[in-house]
C-alpha cells in the first residue's frame, strides 16, 4: 500500500522530536499538575472540580477499492470531562462532546453530545448508585475502553447506542468482584423516530426500558479480568432484545490480551445493520427477528515503558432468524476487521503518539447482493496523537 506523501512527511517530522526507546529522557511536562497549577504555580486544594479535555487528532490516508486515495487531518475525538466530589458520599460526572449536535432527543430530552451527566451516591463502602445519562453496562473490553483510545470500533461498537438515561446500582462484593444492575431507557427518541419505517402491525412498548446485569471480575492478582453482562430491552408490545456480552482479558507486565464475544437476538432490528439492507428492498422497513454475532480481540506487547505494539481483529455476522417480506431467513453480511499499530508514550499514560493501519472488509451473501451494492475493502493509515489534557 502506498503511504500518502503528506503522512510520510509528518512521520519524518515526528521522528525528529520523539527520542529513541534506548535513550530515556526526563518528562518535560509535569502531568501530575493541571494546566491551572502549571500557569498559576498554586497547588489545587479541592476535589470538588476536576476538568480534563480528552482528545484525539489524526492524519488519515485512505486507500479504497476504487484505487482513489483520500487523506485529511481530522479531530477524531473531543470530549470535555468534568467530575468532582460534592461530599464524601455524593459525586457527579459530566462528559460533553464538543463536536456533536446539541439538539435534545425527544424521549429523554438529552442531546447526543452528552455521553454522561448525573449524580452518584456512595450509599455504603460497598454499595453505590448513579442516576442520569450514562454508558449502558453491555460488558466487553472494546466497549469499556476510553473511546479516544479505540482507533476503529467494530460494527457492534459503531452501531450500538451506548449512552442512555437511567439508574445504575453497583455492589462491590469484594475488592476484586463487582456486580452491577442497571435500568435505562431503551432508546433516546420515540419508536417512530428511532426506526425509520416500522414493520406492519408493530406496537411500540408503553414502557421501553432496558435492564442489564454485569459482572466485573479481577482474578489471579489482577491477571484475569472479566466484563460479562446480560441485557434485556422491551422495545415493542411483543418485541424484545436479548444481548449477551462476554469480555475476558489476561494481563501481564509486558503483555495483555482480551477477547470479547457479543450475541444479540432482536425481535426488532435495534442494531440497524440489516435494516440498511432492507431499506433497499421494494417495501423497505425495519426488519424483525434478526441476530448479530461479534468476536473482537486485541493483543498488546510493551517491551519498553514508552513503546507499545498491538494487533486487533474482529469477525462479525448479521442474520435473519425468520423470513421477512422480500428477505428470506439466513446470513446477509460478514465483516472482517484487522488493525496493527505502534504507540509511543513520551510522558505518562495520558499522552501518546500513534501510527495505526486499519483494514476492513464487508462481504454480502447472495441474499444481500440482490439488494445491496458491493462494498469494497477499505484500508487506512493513521498518524496522530491522543492526549487527555488535565485542565484543572
> Average of pLDDT values for 5-22?
37
Find cell 444479540 and name the residue: 264
Q: Is the pLDDT of residue 22 over 50?
A: no
Q: Say if residue 19's pLDDT is above 70.
A: no
Band of residue 67 on the pLDDT scale cut at 50, 70, 90:
low
Query: pLDDT at position 24, please?
Result: 32
10 Å CB burial of residue 350 (0-12, 13-18, 19+) is middle
Q: In terms of DSSP bridges, do strands 69-85 and 288-304 run parallel, antiparallel, or are they unpaired?
A: unpaired
What's the distance, CA 43 to chain centroid?
35
Kindly report each contact of residues 85-88 with a partner whose C-beta sits within 8 Å and lies 24 or more positions away, as own/partner.
Answer: 85/47, 85/48, 86/48, 86/119, 88/122
The pLDDT-based confidence of 32 (bands split at 50, 70, 90) is low
Give counts: helices (H), strands (E), the chain.
7, 16
pLDDT tens-digit series, residues 146-173: 999 999 999 999 999 899 999 999 999 9
Contact criterion met (CB below 8 Å) for 329 and 321: yes
What is the CA 138 to chain-centroid distance, rounded? 11
pLDDT tens digits for 41-54? 666 667 889 999 99
- Containing 351, the helix (H) or strand (E) segment is strand 351-364
Collapsing DSSP to helix, strand or coil, 89 comes out as coil
Q: What pLDDT score does 38 carry?
A: 65
Q: Would you call 363 helix, strand, or coil by DSSP?
A: strand
pLDDT for the residue 375: 77
CB 346 within 8 A of CB 14: no
Please state, in angstroms and rounded to a whole number, the distance separating the CA atoms of residues 356 and 339. 7
Bigger pLDDT: 392 vs 320? 320
Give the containing element (helix H, strand E) for 53.
strand 50-64
d(CA 273, CA 364): 12
H/E segment holding residue 156: helix 155-159
The set of residues, in sequence order, having a beta carbon less than 8 Å from that of 190 and lying 6+ positions away, is: 106, 107, 204
**Percent of the chain whose pLDDT exceeds 90:** 69
pLDDT at 117: 96
pLDDT score of 17: 33
Q: Which residues pair with 173 in a beta bridge?
A: none
Residue 358 and residue 379 in contact, taking contact as beta carbons nearer than 8 Å: yes
CB-side neighbour CA atoms (13 Å) of 107: 20
Quick one: which of 73, 149, 150 has its CA closest to 352?
A: 149
CB of 356 closer than 8 Å to CB of 341: yes
| Nearest in space to 296 (alpha carbons), one of 309, 308, 312 | 312
As beta bridge partners, residue 169 has 129, 181
Per-residue model confidence as pLDDT tens digits over 245-291:
999 999 998 999 999 999 999 999 999 999 999 988 888 889 999 99
Cβ neighbours around 91 below 10 Å, total: 19
382's enclosing H/E stretch is strand 378-390
SS3 39: helix
Angle formed at CA 244 by CA 108 and CA 224, multiple of 5 degrees: 110
Amino acid at each position: 500500500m502506498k503511504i500518502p506523501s503528506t503522512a510520510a512527511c509528518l512521520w519524518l517530522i515526528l521522528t525528529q522530536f520523539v527520542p529513541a526507546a534506548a535513550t530515556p529522557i526526563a518528562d518535560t511536562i509535569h502531568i501530575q499538575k493541571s494546566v491551572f497549577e502549571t500557569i498559576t504555580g498554586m497547588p489545587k486544594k479541592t476535589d470538588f472540580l476536576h476538568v480534563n479535555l480528552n482528545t484525539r487528532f489524526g492524519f488519515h490516508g485512505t486507500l479504497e477499492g476504487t484505487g482513489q486515495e483520500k487523506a485529511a487531518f481530522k479531530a477524531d475525538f473531543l470530549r470535555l470531562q468534568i467530575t468532582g466530589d460534592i461530599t464524601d458520599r455524593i459525586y457527579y460526572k459530566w462528559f460533553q462532546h464538543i463536536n456533536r449536535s446539541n439538539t435534545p432527543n425527544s424521549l429523554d430530552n438529552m442531546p447526543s453530545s452528552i455521553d454522561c451527566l448525573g449524580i452518584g451516591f456512595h450509599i455504603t463502602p460497598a454499595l453505590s448508585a448513579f442516576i442520569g445519562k450514562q454508558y449502558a453496562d453491555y460488558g466487553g473490553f472494546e466497549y469499556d475502553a476510553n473511546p479516544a483510545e479505540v482507533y476503529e470500533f467494530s460494527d457492534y461498537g459503531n452501531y450500538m447506542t451506548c449512552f442512555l438515561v437511567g439508574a445504575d446500582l453497583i455492589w462491590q462484593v469484594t475488592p476484586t468482584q463487582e456486580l452491577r444492575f442497571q435500568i435505562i431507557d431503551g432508546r433516546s427518541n420515540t419508536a417512530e423516530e428511532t426506526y425509520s419505517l416500522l414493520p406492519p402491525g408493530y406496537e411500540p412498548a408503553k414502557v421501553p426500558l432496558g435492564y442489564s446485569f454485569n459482572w466485573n471480575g479481577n482474578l489471579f492478582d489482577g491477571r484475569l479480568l472479566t466484563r460479562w453482562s446480560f441485557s434485556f430491552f422491551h422495545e415493542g408490545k411483543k418485541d424484545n432484545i436479548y444481548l449477551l456480552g462476554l469480555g475476558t482479558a489476561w494481563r501481564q507486565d509486558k503483555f495483555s490480551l482480551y477477547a470479547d464475544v457479543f450475541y444479540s437476538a432482536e425481535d426488532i432490528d435495534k442494531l440497524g445493520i440489516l435494516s440498511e439492507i432492507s431499506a433497499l428492498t421494494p417495501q423497505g422497513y425495519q426488519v424483525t427477528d434478526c441476530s448479530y454475532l461479534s468476536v473482537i480481540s486485541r493483543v498488546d506487547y510493551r517491551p519498553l515503558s514508552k513503546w507499545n505494539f498491538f494487533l486487533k481483529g474482529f469477525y462479525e455476522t448479521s442474520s435473519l432468524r425468520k423470513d421477512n417480506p422480500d428477505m428470506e431467513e439466513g446470513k446477509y453480511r460478514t465483516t472482517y476487521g484487522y488493525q496493527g499499530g505502534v504507540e509511543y508514550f513520551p510522558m505518562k499514560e495520558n499522552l501518546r503518539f500513534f501510527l495505526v493501519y486499519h483494514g476492513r472488509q464487508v462481504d454480502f451473501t447472495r441474499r444481500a447482493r440482490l439488494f445491496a451494492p458491493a462494498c469494497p475493502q477499505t484500508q487506512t493509515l493513521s498518524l496522530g496523537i491522543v492526549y487527555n489534557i488535565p485542565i484543572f
